[in-house]
Amino acid sequence: MAADSPAISPPSPARGTLRRLGILGSGAGTNLTAIADECRAGNLAGEIVLVLSDVSHSGILERARERSLPCRYIAPGKYRSKLEESAERRFIAQLAEAGVDWVVLAGFMRIVRSEFLKAFPDRIVNIHPSLLPSFPGLNAPAQALESGVKVTGTTVHLVDQGIDTGAIIAQEPVRVEEGDTSETLHERIKQVENGLYPRVLHELITGRFRIVGRRVVRVAASERPAL
């Protein structure tokens, strides 16, 4: 990333244009639902143009169908934690064909590799259920419980070639309660995520942030692109 780059914003959006969002997920789809609701309410300057999943019977595809959002299952291929190359090409092609400005990972359980990053440079965003850099990777709420921390939370970050290592955009804490299981803790984290992700996405896609080294910082109002 550039040491001090201009505002992160979509490639030349026309004034007033909604940014085109492609959402990728493997799970229940609560974050998709929250994002879709805020787009519909006019609080998020985006339009979901495609939902893709690597899991054929995932909740996220059901939620997308209920809302009549264009959606598709793409078979991930033979690996567990990444997409097979041909599958990755299919994901990229579908997103490019739909003309997405931003790729939004919402519970997508596979690593995206360099071809993906090259196709959407600094345009892929993820939400992770811990306060990164603590507890990256799988089962973050279980990792938090095992470590004995009293506070964990959620992080919205740009995606880079590492596992949950990209520049951090926003974080919110969630207390660990006595008697929590990884499920009850994750449930409370997701409730926080469902409020945070749409808000941060709105700010991100409307050019409110820029990257300075490893840090994502707010752009002064006078420097912001016209909406």
Could you confirm whether 128 is annotated as catalytic?
yes
Q: Which stretch binds ligand GRF (CB under 6 A): 43-51, 86-94, 185-193, 210-218?
A: 185-193
Q: Which stretch binds ligand GRF (CB under 6 A): 22-30, 37-45, 205-213, 216-224?
A: 22-30
- Cα separation, 106 vs 205, whole angstroms: 16
For residue 101, give the nearest of 154, 27, 23, 171 by alpha carbon.
Answer: 23
Q: CB within 8 A of 6, min separation 6: which ones?
A: 210
Report the residue from 39, 127, 131, 159 that binds ligand GRF according to the rule CB under 6 A.
127
The residue (of 15 and 80) whose beta carbon lies closer to ligand GRF is 80
- Cα separation, 31 vs 28, whole angstroms: 8
* By CB under 6 A, residue 30 contacts ligand GRF: yes
- Cα separation, 72 vs 64, whole angstroms: 9
Residue type, 76: P
* By CB under 6 A, residue 29 contacts ligand GRF: yes
Report the residue from 69, 106, 112, 176 that binds ligand GRF according to the rule CB under 6 A.
106
Report the residue from 1, 7, 27, 55 that binds ligand GRF according to the rule CB under 6 A.
27
DSSP label at 190?
A: H
| Coil vs helix vs strand at 12 | coil
Catalytic positions are: 128
* Interacting residues with ligand GRF (CB under 6 A): 25, 27-31, 60, 106-107, 127-129, 189-190, 193
